[in-house]
Structure 1
């Protein structure tokens, strides 16, 4: 008889192994060491390829320490300028967490499109190029554990979910130990409420969760990352003066006071110690970083908090381009010289270079002041003043009328309002089409008596889109475009609508000449420029005499107001007085959108020279007195030209606008 032996597991030993596995403390989570051992930049990713260099990213050391489990804080906010390495910081936190302390990780972007792009262009290369992660994420699964927005460790011990803040479904029914809230300032309300509150709640169940909020700021008030920074410890990096060793921050105001306009390459900081006053130049930064690092090793705090009571729960850090060894002082100076005076460019500069939210002028200037200034203008309605050779038109469609505004453009973002009018009728009628055809052909006399036609017309295509397109397609795309305003403060000034499709999914033909424009950004810029009195100042708006009071009321009809939501979050939006029409504002912004499309914001001086030479001279057929032509030593001043033929316009009154009616100019 054959004996059979059965091997039975030792239950006591199994229990001991499990207990040992549970009781053994995890290895320390050291993001700095992990970055040095694993992060390698390619030439495509960085101008300085190679292994992660702490000397280049010295300012990240303390932030990475704050993200480790050894620091008791729960939230870490990084309020920064652009191109400072924020993505690198977030990737180290994400990749290091998945490798060293596995668990579920949430990475939230402003939109799902952003999330998909980051996954393909940043995450996948990191997983493939980092040996510590490649073996954990082979990315060959076909069972749902590997997709664009979800990737799971091969051992099932952790996963990363990539979400968009605009998708409440992706921010629900998940519990995450760690998360990154990227580009936080660009997050907008979704149909379930405040996405930041929704994302924060995903880590509520974890007592020792870590949430990294990182973003370049946008507009204040209402900037999410600015609010997060102010709620936290408000830490700034202090560096020793290269001359006297006095610890200080590099502040924009210090740099601006020492910015050399004639020689931007000589721009610098000055030591804040009055007894020193030494010059701090770009070449001093590496040595200042090394000295600060040594001071830190000796127990000196280089990151100093302005709100230390918040440090245990929420650490917040501010960084800007002056601290980056990849950004020269000269480039910072030139960027400011190019941006100053133009609100849209200034906003980009303060956001991307200084790392500060742009302080908005939310209230419109008083309309009475604008009216009084226009009454003293030396150019009348219907005339193009000298210095504004480009002409654009904005058209707004209402249920019973179309309204238009003509604006001329000059160098340095300056503009002049030329005309404003109203025509009765719906955009679908033949009479309205005939009027708009005439508007396209309309010419206005400039200060030299030369008749100038419009260069580009932008018509609102948001309402009655097919009717608008029916008229617009009868004209060249170089003469007529359709536009639609979008309220997002992070939207580009002008962007072509790429996915305008019919209900059947067919790409609509008008999408090729349909553009979104950033209404909020343009409104802020308009209101800042309207208060400029100096005609030579950058961005100045020349107003003509002869416009009705109603135009100025409409131009200043909106203001940016706070709105408290049910979640407690305060959102900001542009609000119109319900008793006041705002087509004067809308048509002006549409004309500006046309100007942006035409290229006035990026037109080189050589092109301005050509337009001025062609248009800013007397017409060839003009006749003058022989004495005028032969007077020696006197500058020639052309006689006043005849008034331009007026378009059929209507004079609005506030009461009539409310009732949707109008009245003729003669009453």
Structure 2
């Protein structure tokens, strides 16, 4: 039966007719299901990059076809519930997550939990990545009636720093940190993104792991088969990497190149990357299928969207090299698993070249910590830590007989001081540095005295010790170039000591495999009263001059092992020693307890809430004060940026510092190590840095 609108008159009838048509359309739009697009199809249509982006304009799958299948696993109609992405740095993984968030806001709205290691990291990601995507993509832009609500609306109904609201539904994106148990326990969510997973704590405030908490937040939606979860991270240490553990529990997909020469499919490996002589910048790939070298510029044509294949199908391992027919047969048999893992390795990444990887590999040789960083970030695989601690009794054989404490050998050009503060005194180690991280232990001692009162006790004695400076060959006496002082104990006294004179830095050691050797510098907050008065305040270490002790110890042990190998090889072959990177020289007067303390820790695996955690622990009956001193010396060398000095810089330092005492007293490292281009006047070449039996100078009578 047709309703007669005309009986209300021409004007009113016309209005009612138009309203009815709009109502019909609104009802139809509400009942019409969203278009059946995959996340990758949505990205190709709607994702835009701003003009100041490295690759501005529309999203293009040809740039990184390996990302297509990763995104499509996150589509609502795909049975996959969890995606684990173990990757190298700057590989497009996070951009895929951003596309998924845009897709959710448009076609599959629901509550989303986005977790970074800290809330600060999550908000930084939103400011640097998410909101620029929203501004550049009309489908998302609130100014163009997009799917994201703008921030700071006058009525208070807009997005906030912590919560991004969707404009067409009650869905939202909640930003939080893995260090906040309250935020992780608050809400039931449909989607979760755990970004930078390996930086999450294993135990949060004694309440379990953040991953376990996220699992509980998804439980209701998962019971309906509607939840989705994405885990993304560069890996860290083998056996304790959270993203590696998630990948191992998945179907473990590897990406196969298609050889441009023979057409075979193969998984690229670092062993396939080669270079001629020392031409690392022009490294190329030698496919394991036909062995015909492939230049980097051809990488794009080797990558297809269907390159992913599980490493095991029907219980049988899949070979690294397959002909096309076999590859496609395996693809057809690969099940649509609920847990999918993708290994986005550096060898396949669009955004770094094989030459860049080869240069990084070359530069990391001899330094275990640098090699770990290269392995994790450039390759995107876990790093296996050598657990063998150098034997301190064998280490004693490295004592050199031609110099001792208070005497400067030929070789060191920069001097640092590391100080470990205790309640009854301060342990100190003075270290000399040369090119390629070669080091000489110039002194190691304990300065007794109280450390709770600024400027008194051990602090006064330490200041006097520091002010004596160091006499270089030739008689020139120069101040210590940089001191790093432990500020985690009696913090205000340590700050007072460092504030008294230049070239001193209060530092706070912190465990963490991804921490840099020397982090950002902000004042350490400390307790003002109570039984912990004067100590660094709990939870405030992220506002300190952080020293990443894990990797520093890794480097130190690596240098010791390589030194012992080089010395043993030279003795066995009766040939001159091949000096390795990080060669360690020890004085004949090095105290015996230094050897025990400098090797007092070892790596142990402990299970934390079901997850393995590799950490440094002190061996029973040992102390580690001199180990901490050496770590702080490494931090001082990092502060001076010694690894950036060129051969010319080191030569200029040698000419300046080894000059006779009555020569000009300029200091190339004051107030910090920043060397301007120097063209020194012609002078005799300084002696060879190899230690000589009579090439030392007694410092005892040379103090200023």
TM-score (ref. length: structure 1)? 0.83
CA offset digits 1:80-114 (Å, max 9, x no partner): 11111122111011111221111111111110001
Tell me the SS of whatever aligns to 1:524: helix
SS of the equivalent of 1:219 reads coil
Q: Does 1:599 align with 2:633?
A: no
State the 1:24 CA deviation: 6.7
Aligned equivalents of 1:141 and 1:578: distance in 2?
63
Secondary structure of the 2:505 match is strand
- Counterpart-to-counterpart distance in 1, 2:114 and 2:325: 34
Give unmatched runs, 5+ long, in structure 2: 1-7, 9-23, 310-321, 529-535, 567-577, 664-686
The partner residue of 1:408 within 432, 444, 463 is 432
Which residue in 1 is equivalent to 2:119?
A: 112
How far did residue 345 of structure 1 move?
2.2
- Between the aligned partners of 1:166 and 1:120, the Cα distance in structure 2 is 20
1:51-82 deviation per Cα after TM superposition (whole angstroms, max 9, x unaligned): 11111110011111222233322211111111
**Cα distance between partner residues in 2 of 1:557 and 1:502:** 28
- Give the deviation of 1:130 after TM superposition: 2.0
Indicate whether 1:36 and 2:44 are aligned.
Answer: yes
Map 1:337-356 onto structure 2 (within 5 A): 337-356=362-381
- Superposed CA offset, 1:220-243 (max 9, x none): 231111222222222111112221
* Distance across 1 between alignment mates of 2:157 and 2:607: 40
Q: Secondary structure at the match of 1:205?
A: helix
- Where does residue 223 of structure 1 map in the other structure? 241
- Partner residue of 2:197? 184
Is 1:572–2:614 an aligned residue pair? yes
Q: Deviations over 1:269-326 (max 9, x none)?
A: 11213xx321121122222225967999x99757989x978x6231111122332333
Candidates 513, 516, 527, aligned match of 2:546: 516
Deviation at 1:378, TM superposition (A): 4.6
Q: Is the 8 A contact 2:50 2:132 kept in 1?
A: no
CA distance in 2, matches of 1:102, 1:480: 54
- Cα pair distance change 1:459/1:560, threshold 3 Å: same
Give the CA deviation at 1:452: 5.0
1:438 aligns to 2:445 (yes or no): no
* Partner residue, 1:658: none
Matched, 1:372 2:397: yes
**Distance in 1 between the 2:97 and 2:329 partners?**
20
| Structure 1, 453-462 or 82-91: larger mean CA deviation | 453-462
Match of 1:212 in 2: 230
From 612, 615, 618, the counterpart of 2:654: 612
Alpha-carbon distance between aligned partners in 1 of 2:585 and 2:377, rounded to the nearest angstrom: 30
The residue aligned with 1:248 is 266
Q: Residues of 1 paired with 2:204 and 2:473: CA distance?
A: 51
Instruction: Choose the corresponding residue for 2:138, options 125, 131, 145.
Output: 131
| Distance change >3 Å, CA 18–CA 125, structure 1 → 2 | closer
- Find the partner of 1:57 among 41, 53, 64: 64
Partner of 1:556: 599
Deviation (angstroms), 1:44: 2.6
- Give, in angstroms, the shift of residue 163 of structure 1: 1.1
Deviation at 1:572, TM superposition (A): 2.7
Q: How does 1:56-75 map to 2 (within 5 A)?
A: 56-75=63-82
Contact residue 558 and residue 582 of structure 1 kept, 8 A: yes
Greater CA deviation, 441-450 or 205-214?
441-450
The CA distance in 1 between the partners of 2:287 and 2:634, in whole Å, is 43
Q: Which runs of 5+ in 1 are unaligned?
A: 5-15, 622-633, 649-667
Q: 1:170 to 1:29 in 2, by over 3 A?
A: farther
Residue 286, structure 1, aligned to residue 312, structure 2: no
Q: Which residue is 1:361 aligned to?
A: 386
- Secondary structure of residue in 2 paired with 1:422: strand
Q: Flag the 1:591–1:468 CA change in 2: closer, same or farther, 3 A.
A: same
Q: Which residue pairs with 1:460 in the alignment?
A: 486
For residue 501 of structure 1, report the CA deviation from its aligned partner. 4.8
Task: Give the C-alpha shift of residue 364 in structure 1.
Answer: 2.2
Please say which of residues 365-374 and 55-64 is displaced more in the overlay. 365-374
Matches within 5 A, 1:135-154: 135-139=146-150, 140=153, 142-143=155-156, 146-154=159-167
Measured in 1, the distance between the counterparts of 2:329 and 2:417 equals 52
CA distance in 1, matches of 2:44, 2:215: 30
Q: What CA distance in whole angstroms lies between the structure 1 residues aligned with 2:302 and 2:76?
A: 29
- TM-aligned CA distance change 1:58 to 1:394, over 3 Å: same
Q: Which residue of 1 aligns with 2:559?
A: 529
Q: Deviations over 1:162-212 (max 9, x none)?
A: 111111111113122111110111112421331122122211222332111
Secondary structure of the equivalent of 1:543? strand
Residue 425, structure 1, aligned to residue 449, structure 2: yes
Query: Which residue number in structure 2 is paired with residue 270 of structure 1?
Result: 286
Q: Give the number of equivalent residue pairs.
A: 604
Hey, what's the Cα distance between the residues in 1 that align with 2:348 and 2:301?
A: 12
How far off its partner does 1:344 sit? 2.7
Q: Secondary structure at the match of 1:322?
A: coil
Query: Deviation string for 1:231-275 (max 9, x for gaps)?
Result: 2222111112221112111111221xx2334222432111213xx
Indicate the residue corresponding to 2:253 in structure 1.
Answer: 235
- 2-side partners of 1:206 and 1:499: how far apart? 44
1:79 aligned counterpart, secondary structure? strand
CA contact (8 A) 2:436 2:581 kept: yes
Report the 3-state secondary structure (helix = DSSP H, G, I; strand = E; otherwise coil) of the residue aligned with 1:579: coil
Q: Secondary structure at the match of 1:387?
A: coil
- Counterparts of 1:200 and 1:294, CA distance in 2: 27
TM-score w.r.t. the length of structure 2 is 0.79
SS of 1:564's equivalent in the other structure is: strand
DSSP-derived class of the 1:370 partner: helix
Q: Aligned in 2, Cα 1:303/1:94: closer, same or farther, shift over 3 Å?
A: farther
- Cα drift, residue 357 of structure 1: 2.1
**Which region of structure 1 is more displaced relative to structure 2, 515-524 or 196-205?**
196-205
- SS of the counterpart of 1:517? strand
2:700 to 603, 621, 645: 645
Counterpart-to-counterpart distance in 1, 2:618 and 2:157? 49
Please give the alpha-carbon distance, in whole angstroms, between the structure 2 residues aligned to 1:60 and 1:254. 23
Residue number in structure 1 paired with 2:186: 173
Once residues 69 and 279 of structure 2 are traced to their aligned partners in structure 1, the CA distance between those partners, rounded to angstroms, is: 36
Q: 1:338 to 1:232 in 2, by over 3 A?
A: same
Distance 1:473 1:363, change over 3 A: same
Superposed, which structure 2 residues align to 1:289-328 within 5 Å?
Answer: 289=303, 301=327, 312-328=337-353
